[in-house]
């Protein structure tokens, strides 16, 4: 069955280095805590808020061994007034036998405000 694994992280500045570092931190934790193997991933969607445009955060995923052929798409988040700024959001579509309740969603730094009900299970 395909399940969605969600995550988000905030970025310290609109630079390529900061965007890639925040995306890499987030993706590494999502992969680790859910024991995700690249061959089990159908696709990855990564969005950024409109204030982040210095780099494609998908570049971070290419640093991981075995992730070369995983389809990844970057997009812009809807600019809702008052929403969290400088934020990268990720949706991994993973083939897994885990139930919805067993999936560990990862919210880091200021992004924990997005889903405090989901991100509080992270223990890495």
- How confident is the model at residue 27, as a pLDDT? 98
Inside any domain, residue 114? yes
Give me the catalytic one of 3, 16, 17, 89: 89
Please return the burial class of 26, using the count of CB atoms within 10 Å of its CB with bins 0-12, 13-18 and 19+. buried
- How confident is the model at residue 124, as a pLDDT? 44
Inside any domain, residue 44? yes
Does the annotation mark 69 as catalytic? no
Inside any domain, residue 109? yes
DSSP category for residue 114:
T
Give me the catalytic one of 17, 25, 74, 76: 74
Please tell me the total count of domains within the chain: 1
Tell me the pLDDT of the chain (124 aa) as tens digits. 999 999 999 999 999 999 999 999 999 999 999 999 999 999 999 999 999 999 999 999 999 999 999 999 999 999 999 999 999 999 999 999 999 999 999 999 999 999 877 655 555 4
14/44 Cα distance (integer angstroms): 22
Does the annotation mark 76 as catalytic? no
**C-alpha 42 chain-centroid distance:** 15
Q: Which of 20, 62, 44 is closest to 12 using CA atoms?
A: 20
Does the annotation mark 3 as catalytic? no
Inside any domain, residue 124? no
Q: β-strands 87-95, 72-76: how paired?
A: unpaired
Residues of the domain holding 44: 2-118
Beta strands in the chain (DSSP E): 2-10, 41-48, 72-76, 87-95, 106-107
Give me the catalytic one of 17, 50, 62, 102: 62
Inside any domain, residue 123? no
Give me the CATH number covering residue 75.
3.30.1330.40
């Amino acid at each position: 069955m395909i399940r969605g694994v969600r995550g988000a992280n905030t970025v310290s500045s609109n630079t390529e280095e900061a965007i890639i570092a925040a995306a890499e931190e987030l993706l590494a934790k999502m992969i680790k805590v859910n024991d995700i193997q690249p061959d089990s991933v159908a696709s990855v969607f990564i969005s950024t808020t409109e204030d982040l445009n210095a780099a494609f955060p998908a570049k971070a995923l290419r640093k991981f061994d075995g992730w070369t052929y995983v389809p990844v798409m970057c997009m812009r988040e809807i600019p809702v007034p008052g929403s969290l700024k400088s934020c990268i959001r990720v949706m991994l579509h993973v083939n897994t036998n885990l139930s919805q309740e067993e999936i560990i969603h990862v919210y880091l730094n200021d992004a924990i405000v997005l889903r405090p009900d989901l991100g509080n299970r992270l223990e890495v």
